[in-house]
A and B are shown apart, each in its own frame.
Chain A
Amino acid sequence: MSRLLIEASTPLCLLQDAGRFGVRHLGVTQGGALDWVSMSWANWLLGNALDAPVVEITLGGFTVQAEDYCLLALAGADLGAYIDERAISPGRSFILQKGQRLRFTQPFSGARAYLAAPGGFDAPAVLGSCATVVREELGGVDGFGKALAEGGRLVYSGTGGAMKVLSAPDLQPGKPLDVIVGAQIGQFSGQSLFDAFNTAWALDSRADRMGMRLLGAPLQYQGPSLISEGIPLGAIQVPPDGQPIVLLNDRQTIGGYPRLGALTPLSLARLAQCLPGETVRLAPVVQQTAHQQHIDFMKRFTTT
């Protein structure tokens, strides 16, 4: 067993896995790592299951001190990480000797870093997952949805670990985000459809794990009001003010706003690394095409 003492943390540093499944009909949200690709890479670096429990560190402000010899891996954003005084870049596994500190200072590139340990960090599975959802009081190290806090401990029990090296995965930051268009697409005005896919959208500072608001030309929905229905991950809902919201892992399970469509999982992983003020563009994609791209992408984790 290896332990890390948490010396600094923020409400945005959370234990996560791939999310909570099979319980959404009960109103339980999905949860899980926003950038699931980086979570998967962090785990892959150690030879873990891709969805083993990791720490999601958003923007920085997180410090741990090793109380034992620790093998760890880091992927995702460059949040200015240091081992004591030595800078360390994401995309690698590394060792923390007993007494050494790992700290995350501020975002240099991207928004979210993922820290993995052999076999995943220890946490009780609550409704099948350790994904932390503060609002629902589910998951996390204690099982009751608490964010990682100063004075707490991260523990892992796995031994060994593969210590693989990752050649930087191309996240294609400038590429438009792929949207699988939904059934209500025809009920937006022609101008709105043009604007949706031909103009830039700025990320609002009103963003959290439930959703990210996009600022730009207001979109006009002209259809009838809708009855609440299930909301998929990445759904782009358009409330009456016309400013779309991309619904993320901690979204409510059902809702009644019209939707343009839903981002693909790969686009969601890229969006999760964007900071407020950055701009993104949207591009329509067919479900079958996106499906094939996703299957092809997943092969990297088995063949690399």
Chain B
Amino acid sequence: MKPRIEVVAIDCLMVRLFDAIAETNMPWMLAATQRLRSGFGAALVDLVPSYTTLMVHYDLGAVNPAQARALIEQALAGLQPQAQGGGQCHVLPVWYDLSVGPELTLLSQRSGLAIDEVIRRHSAHEYQVFALGFAPGFAFMGLVDEVLATPRLNTPRKRVAAGSVGIAERQTAAYPMVSPGGWNLIGRTPARLFDRGRDGYSLMQPGDTVRFEAVERAEFIKLGGDDTPLEAQA
């Protein structure tokens, strides 16, 4: 493990750990995150992890570029992957239904699988949270069963309902709030994904794992879900 360090801005350095997306990256990414946070301490403004990289944004009044580089090298020297159990495991209830997940049809057609089997495969895997981005609490998760991999919609929707669960290529995610979006929608979760009143704000954090659990409409409503069909909200 020899991380590369690249200049990206006056007060940001990119730490590149891998060249490809893989679930096996995560124990290393989590370990590097911890080391960098403690190495920089109060001089750290933000640490932005993504699939293969960690962007270190430091306080330029506290450290200069050379010192920042040295701090990174120091922090990551002899890095070992974090032992299992680093992240939390979440179970997200999902109401898979055509009224809230219209692309179930498309995924079924593309894969040649029955809709029930599409649902079974989506909910069978324990996904890694690779990164958060796009919107507060929006977790990019993977990797989705290759058979279900589907490119984003050609024309993104102007309005996707909060809680919508979607697939893009081999990734899956749930929209924390109403927003535009181009993912293939297959269902909806009643889970509150981002809550300013909660400790840590976001339900999912980088490095967590997630399982989707199919629930019936009645259970979805009981859990606080909004069953308004997608079209009716447009």
Contacts and interface: CB of A to CB of B under 8 A. Distances in A.
A253 B14 contact: no
A22 B50 CA distance: 16
Given A183-B14, A233-B9, A253-B48, A138 B53 contact: no
Do most interface residues of chain A lie in helix, strand or loop, or is the interface mixed?
A: mixed
B49 A25 contact: yes
Given A182-B8, A233-B9, A254-B50, A291 B132 contact: no
A254 B100 CA distance: 27
B57, B61, B137, B139: residue with the most chain A Cβ atoms closer than 10 Å: B57
Contacts of B66: 288
Contact of A227 (B6, B11, B51): B51
Interface in A30-74: none
Nearest to A228: B50
Contact of A23 (B52, B60, B179, B201): B201
Highest count of chain B CB atoms <10 Å: which of A228, A255, A259: A228
B46 A24 contact: yes
A149 to B, nearest CB: 20
A135 B194 CA distance: 14
A262 to B, nearest CB: 4
Nearest to B12: A232
B201 A230 contact: no
Given A25-B46, A229-B55, A298 B136 contact: no
Contact of A26 (B61, B64, B137): B137
Given A23-B201, A252-B133, A288-B64, A227 B9 contact: no
A180 interface: yes
Interface in B175-218: 177, 179, 194, 196, 200-202, 205-206
A111 B7 CA distance: 31
Interface in B46-79: 46-55, 57, 60-61, 64-66
A144 to B, nearest CB: 9
Interface string A262-304: 1011000000000000000000000110110011001000000
Contacts of A231: 55
Interface string B25-61: 0000000000000000000011111111111010011
B223 interface: no
Contact of B46 (A22, A135, A181, A229): A22
A230 B55 contact: yes
A150 interface: no
A126 interface: yes
Contacts of A138: 136, 196
Residue picked from A23, A25, A265, most chain B C-beta under 10 Å: A25
Contacts of A254: 48, 50, 131, 133-134
A22 B137 CA distance: 14
Contacts of B206: 25
A233 B11 CA distance: 9
Given A227-B53, A262-B12, A287-B10, 4 more contacts: A127-B196, A135-B135, A230-B48, A294-B60
Instruction: Report, nearest first, the 9 A-B pairs whose CB atoms are least far apart.
Output: A230-B55, A230-B48, A232-B9, A254-B133, A262-B9, A183-B6, A27-B132, A232-B12, A24-B46
Interface of B: 6-12, 14, 20-21, 45-55, 57, 60-61, 64-66, 131-140, 177, 179, 194, 196, 200-202, 205-206
Interface of A: 21-28, 126-127, 135-138, 180-183, 227-235, 252-255, 259, 261-262, 264-265, 287-288, 290-291, 294-295, 298
18 contacts: A27-B133, A27-B136, A27-B137, A180-B9, A182-B7, A183-B7, A230-B8, A232-B9, A232-B55, A253-B132, A253-B133, A259-B8, A261-B8, A265-B10, A287-B7, A287-B65, A291-B64, A291-B65
